[in-house]
Structure 1
């Protein structure tokens, strides 16, 4: 019976991704973000449960990637679609989603956001056949990328700053973020995973520093901290890689 527990947790991730998709299509981005966060929570614990129960399986690996494709691949693509639509139509309209009529599809700019979904699919397919990504990742993991994209919508929702809102809803900025996101997903950059083989600070210094700095940023900047943390994650990994090469 215990062998089914991790897969059940993964299916909860799928379920959260489905609900987040419905909210994202309806342009209720705050609720979409909530269920993405919940899905990522389940995504973390399915692997942990599999290791603790010693029931890792190839089925679990494949199911995990399929779940990520929905929660952390499809949903951020829809969110970027909605943000680009807002930028083209003049601002934030929570709950007033884009109409999926044939005439609307002629306006192709918001569809550019689905590059994130395409990049996520490609990244997950590569991950499934790469046997080296165990203690580290090559390219930005899809959950981290999803948090980056969703943070833009949450900043618009919770930070009543006109200048910041205008900056985020600039279509050129959103197109840049789409391209950056798609690149980071598939970049040949080794990024550390938050998996501790031991609790030694010496062996996990970069992980402990990252977690401490992230906690401080979240307490002080709240949702504004999310994009800063993602940037810090990439920079910290690059510094760690350079340090390892020198040694």
Structure 2
């Protein structure tokens, strides 16, 4: 039974992702973001549990990717769909209404926001590559799906908790969101080597990059709050590219 603990934690990630999708479809992006964050929390600890309990398995590897596809693939894609809908029509919508019998008469423009679903496709491709790419055992090639998800979720969180007319004008600009969606898809699958936040030991010498990144992240969060998230992801990419061990 103890060998199933990591899979149970992964299943909690999957469950959180499913709940997040339901809230995102209904237009409640803040609650959706909360459940995605819970899911990412479980995603981090399932791997830790597997290492501590020496309970690695092929089933666990596949289950982890399937859970990530829901929590860090489909859920953030639907959040982008809602943001695009808000940018075009002034607010989120219960997405199922578009597919009702009356919904087919609302005009093709209401289907344009579904361009956000490209993130789900790019996430699936990224996760599939990760499972077969032997280069990604101790680091990543391309932005990990949880990091990309946090970047996407920062948009509704900024709008809700740090609202200003200037920020809203940028975030809810349709061209910004289209570019953001495409950039997200590119970053997920770009041939960019990125370090992993996995500590095999706790000494500073072998983990200097990780400690610097974590300290920088804390400082940015204290100063900028949710606005720090895009800066943290940018820092993650730049440190990975230019840090020399």
Q: CA deviation at 1:134?
A: 1.6
Using structure 1 for the length normalisation, give the TM-score: 0.93
Q: Please state if 1:111 is matched with 2:114.
A: yes
**1:177, CA displacement in angstroms?**
0.5
Tell me the equivalent position of 1:49.
Answer: 49
What secondary structure, in the 3-state scheme, does the structure 2 residue paired with 1:137 have? strand
Q: Secondary structure at the match of 1:197?
A: coil
Count of matched residue positions in the alignment of Structure 1 and Structure 2? 239
Query: Aligned residue for 2:239?
Result: 236
Tell me, in whole angstroms, the C-alpha distance in 1 between the residues paired with 2:98 and 2:75: 16
1:149 to 137, 152, 156: 152
Aligned to 2:30: 30
Per the TM alignment, residue 104 of structure 1 is displaced from its structure 2 partner at its CA by 4.9
**Is residue 2:193 matched to residue 1:195?**
no
Cα distance between partner residues in 2 of 1:151 and 1:104: 30
Q: Secondary structure at the match of 2:140?
A: strand
Q: 2:94 aligns with which of 80, 97, 121?
A: 97
Q: Is the 8 A contact 1:82 1:97 kept in 2?
A: no
**Matched residues in 1 for 2:202 and 2:162: separation?**
37
What's the CA shift for 1:32? 0.3
Residue 176 of structure 2 corresponds to residue 173 of structure 1: yes
How far residue 12 of structure 1 moved from its aligned partner, in angstroms, is: 0.3
Structure 1 outlier segments of 4+, above 6 Å: none
**Corresponding position of 1:88:** 88
How far is the alpha carbon of 1:111 from its aligned partner? 1.0
Aligned residue number for residue 218 of structure 1: 221
Shift, 1:29, TM fit: 0.3
Q: CA deviation at 1:197?
A: 1.9
| Cα displacement (A) at 1:205 | 1.2
> What's the counterpart of residue 39 of structure 1?
39
2:133 corresponds to 1:130: yes
Q: 2:210 aligns with which of 201, 207, 221?
A: 207
Structure 1, gaps ≥5 residues long: none
Q: Which string of whole-angstrom CA distances, capped at 9 and with x for unpartnered residues, describes residues 76-118 of structure 1? A: 100000000000013x45xx43432334572232011011111
Instruction: Report how far residue 163 of structure 1 moved.
Output: 1.0
**2:180 equivalent to 1:183:** no
